[in-house]
């Protein structure tokens, strides 16, 4: 595979983003880590450096347009243009549709759809100039199906999969690929928050709530972050796959 690329991973302070960053570094790439929490970024960076990886922590808020620009400038000044973008920053919360506020809706769209759009748009000129680039967005299985109690999250993930498909069609002959990885329920801090919310709403114990989420995957367990990182690494390694929403969900959504 092509190695030694300049990578930027958003949402890299924990969960899927951290696992992706560690995998890309292990594959020999230089990896810039972006997230809001500087302390958490430093912890992930220390882990990567302990394994002789090349890493650059870049504290940034991807929901802020100026923050996105500053993030890119920091990477470019240190290493040059971003060649691999992994947009892993994202979040969601469970609420009935009638209880979903305008702020809930705006927050989901801003983080899960607008931020990846801005990051992709900013990365493209350098990728197009070099006629090589890889873009991977962490979406969700709910980019492909509706799910109760997460209307804003589901809509934002449907939207970002549409962005991926449109960009891939536009860029197909340019040497730039654009894909989404669509996980089911993954063993991450975000899922921990979901478990607590289900427990509070339903009266079930957290153990019962976690087990219910595990059973959403036909394999009967939560997905590991490393399994999502494997799919991202595949998208980075190949130039023949683009415009895809690759399911990592234990068989929940067949395609």
pLDDT at 1: 39
DSSP letter string over 133-200? EEEEEE--GGGTS--TTBHHHHHHHHHHHHHHHHHHHHHTTTTEEEEEEEE-SBSSHHHHHHHHHHHH
pLDDT at 54: 97
Catalytic residue among 153, 155, 161, 223: 153
Q: Quick one: DSSP state of residue 44?
A: H
Q: What parts of the chain have a pLDDT lower than 70? A: 1-3
pLDDT at 3: 53
pLDDT at 188: 83
Give me the helix-helix angle, 15-26 and 38-50, nearest 10°.
Answer: 30
With tokens 């705006």, the residue in question is 106
DSSP letter string over 94-144? -B-GGG--HHHHHHHHIIIIIHHHHHHHHHHHHHHHHT-EEEEEE--GGGT
Active site residue 72: no
Class of domain 6-184+224-247: alpha beta
pLDDT at 35: 97
Contacts of 191 (CB under 8 A, 6+ apart): 185, 210, 213, 222
pLDDT at 207: 87
User: How many CB atoms lie under 10 A from the CB of residue 92?
Assistant: 21
Distance CA 93, CA 153 (A): 7
């Amino acid at each position: 595979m092509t190695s030694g690329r300049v990578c930027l991973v958003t949402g890299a302070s924990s969960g899927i983003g951290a696992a992706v960053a560690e995998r890309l570094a292990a594959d020999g790439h230089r990896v810039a880590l972006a997230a809001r929490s500087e302390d958490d970024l430093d912890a992930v960076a220390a882990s990567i450096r302990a394994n002789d990886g090349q890493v650059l922590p870049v504290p940034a808020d991807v929901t802020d347009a100026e923050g996105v620009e500053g993030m890119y400038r920091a990477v470019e000044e240190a290493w040059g243009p971003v060649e691999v973008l992994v947009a892993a920053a994202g979040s969601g919360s469970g609420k009935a549709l009638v209880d979903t506020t305008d702020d809930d809706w705006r927050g989901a769209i801003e983080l899960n759809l607008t931020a990846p759009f801005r990051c992709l748009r900013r990365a493209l000129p350098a990728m197009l100039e070099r006629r090589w680039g890889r873009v991977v967005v962490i979406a969700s299985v709910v980019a492909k199906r509706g799910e109760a109690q997460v209307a804003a999250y589901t809509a934002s993930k449907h939207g970002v999969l549409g962005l991926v498909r449109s960009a891939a069609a536009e860029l197909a002959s340019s040497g730039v690929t654009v894909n989404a990885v669509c996980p089911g329920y993954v063993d991450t801090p975000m899922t921990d928050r979901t478990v607590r919310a289900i427990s509070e709403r339903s009266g079930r114990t957290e153990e019962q709530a976690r087990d219910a989420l595990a059973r959403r995957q036909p394999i009967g367990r939560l997905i590991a972050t490393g399994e999502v990182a494997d799919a991202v690494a595949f998208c980075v390694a190949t130039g023949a796959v683009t415009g895809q929403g690759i399911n990592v969900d234990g068989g929940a959504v067949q395609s």
